[in-house]
A and B are shown apart, each in its own frame.
Chain A
Amino acid sequence: MKEDSLEIGGVEINCRLFVGTGKFSSHALMREVLLAAKADVTTVALRRVDNGAKADNILDYIPSGCKVMINTSGARTADEAVRIARLARAAGAGNWIKIEVIADNRYLLPDNLETLKATETLVQEGFVVFPYMSPDLTVARRLAECGAAAVMPLGAPIGSNRGLKTKELVAIMIKEIKAPIIVDAGLGKPSEACECMEMGCAAVLVNTAIAVSRNPIDYARAFSQAVQAGRLAYLSGLVESVDEARASSPLTGFLRDGD
């Protein structure tokens, strides 16, 4: 195990940038992006199949060694999320589940209460559960208590690329919750991912920003480096900021009479 790896469900995660697989123009490009980011964790969704759908199996394009987390997107209730999780496991996709229960079509904000219910059920059924949630300390605490592998607060609405709009609440969660905090959704720029990591997030999950970039492969690389930079800064301890200047060159020995 490397010095600063994150361990979840017995899996060693070295890359703290999780990359989603949605919205890419091809499975092949998605694969290149995961490789460029050196992603250790990715996400996929489950959907109804159209007749005659000959499309390639997306799972075949995920690099070996990259852990797949199935999201329950499309679920509006805890029961639907549980049903999707069971289907995913039966399909041989493993037992890592990102719970996404959304009842709001405009902002796609998660239903924290149904998310908590689904988490309780799926943890009991042996899943490794990653609940996506609106940042709320009490809910996060309950999710962690009932065995969530990590808690995933949103930074901004899904696909909005607006950055970490929930910073104060996420900061409180990081301080108070022992489970890893992974910011999921809304990050648009590498600097925003870096900011999350500097604060002490265990990881971030990015999809849309990378997929819609003019150059997804390089954008993924940029995110990956930003995540590493932020993590390193967090481990080093962020320095204190002050209002007034503090000279960085010595204040003595000037070439001036009387000094």
Chain B
Amino acid sequence: MKVRINGVDERISEANLTLEQLIADRGLSPKKVVIELNLSIVPRKQWPQVTLQDSDSIEIVSFVGGG
């Protein structure tokens, strides 16, 4: 399965990978990031139920310093 994460194409071998697992696999702290899946924001409480599908486009973002 091919997905696009933060603008980079990636192959995912795992079936039914949830957003919750994706964040954990990438070593990220769930409380600090926001996920946008195919241009829609996915609330954190839905992460355990939402699984990645082929061709999904995901943005994982967080806050940084800025003026």
- Taking Cβ atoms with an 8 Å cutoff, the residues of A that contact B are 20-24, 27, 30, 43-49, 51-54, 57-59, 70-71, 73, 83, 86-88, 90-91, 93, 158-159, 185, 205, 207-208
Contacts and interface: CB of A to CB of B under 8 A. Distances in A.
A58 B31 CA distance: 12
B26 A47 contact: no
B41 to A, nearest CB: 4
Interface string B20-34: 000000111101111
30 contacts: A20-B65, A20-B66, A20-B67, A22-B65, A22-B66, A22-B67, A43-B67, A44-B64, A45-B65, A46-B34, A48-B59, A49-B61, A54-B27, A54-B29, A58-B63, A59-B63, A70-B63, A71-B66, A83-B36, A83-B39, A86-B41, A87-B34, A88-B63, A90-B41, A90-B43, A91-B62, A185-B67, A205-B67, A207-B67, A208-B67
Contacts of A58: 63-65
Contacts of B36: 83, 87
Interface in B30-67: 31-34, 36, 39, 41, 43, 59-67
A48 B6 contact: yes
Chain B contact-residue range equals: 20 to 34
A45 B39 CA distance: 19
B61 A46 contact: yes
B29 A44 contact: no
A52 B33 CA distance: 12
A88 to B, nearest CB: 8
A87 B61 contact: yes
